[in-house]
Amino acid sequence: MSALDLKIPMRKLEELINEEDPAWPMVQEWIETANNKVEILAVDPEKAKDALFHTQVTTRSPMGAVIYMTGGMLIDDGWIRILGSGSPKLNRSLPDWNKGKAFEEFGDAVPFLIVADDALGGSFVLNGGGLGDDPGMIYYFAPDTLSYEPLDLSYSEFLTFCFDNDLDSFYKGFRWKDWRTEVSDMPGDKAFSFFPFLWTVQGKDIEKNSREPVPAEELYHLNLSFREKL
């Protein structure tokens, strides 16, 4: 049996809620000074408790704070969707989104956690030991290469990357004219499917590709199936 097959003892919710030193005030400060547009989605307290318990992180950590205090966050009008406990505009929680992808059942050891994704179908993934020898660091699953690219960022650094980084530079060549209008109108449980596919030679000119919103779940599995064939 490998380490990733092990079950992790589930801590009680009360052990995960840290009222003495919560991380949320710090995250709020980052948001208040952000260079990019950040929309904090309203939280449902019961969903937040459920999501925090199933993720098994404490609110002393920025990830736990985001899960417990938000339904998620939308960056740049929804171009990046940071997963929290779920909301009508982002109808998926972090643990529910990862179930069946990173792990099969709650309490399983996790090789990675998807913590955010974007309108292109890319995913931001926290390494739990299954992606490389740098656990705790963020990778980007890029839809144009179908590979996990290390970003050399912790989860906290990833949040500030979303809040303050030049996203036009990071996504250079993948933001088409009027992208903001199309993205802001798209539900948070969908992403754009492009044809020709972004990973093909023919799909490198984003302005010439056709695109349509499809379920993010469908696009995630489609990209993985292509990755396995390459």
pLDDT tens track for 11-51: 999 999 998 999 999 999 999 999 999 999 999 999 999 99
Mean per-residue pLDDT, 142-162: 97
Shortest CA distance to 34 belongs to which of 3, 80, 67? 80
Mean per-residue pLDDT, 101-116: 95
- The pLDDT value recorded for residue 2 is 45
Q: How far apart are CA 221 and CA 122, in angstroms?
A: 12
4 confidence band (pLDDT: 50, 70, 90): very low
Amino acid at 83: L
pTM of the model: 0.95
Q: Evaluate whether 36 touches 74 at the Cβ level (below 8 Å).
A: no
Indicate if the pLDDT at residue 1 is higher than 90. Answer: no
- The pLDDT value recorded for residue 8 is 73
Shortest CA distance to 77 belongs to which of 1, 161, 186, 176? 186
Q: How far apart are CA 21 and CA 71, in angstroms?
A: 21
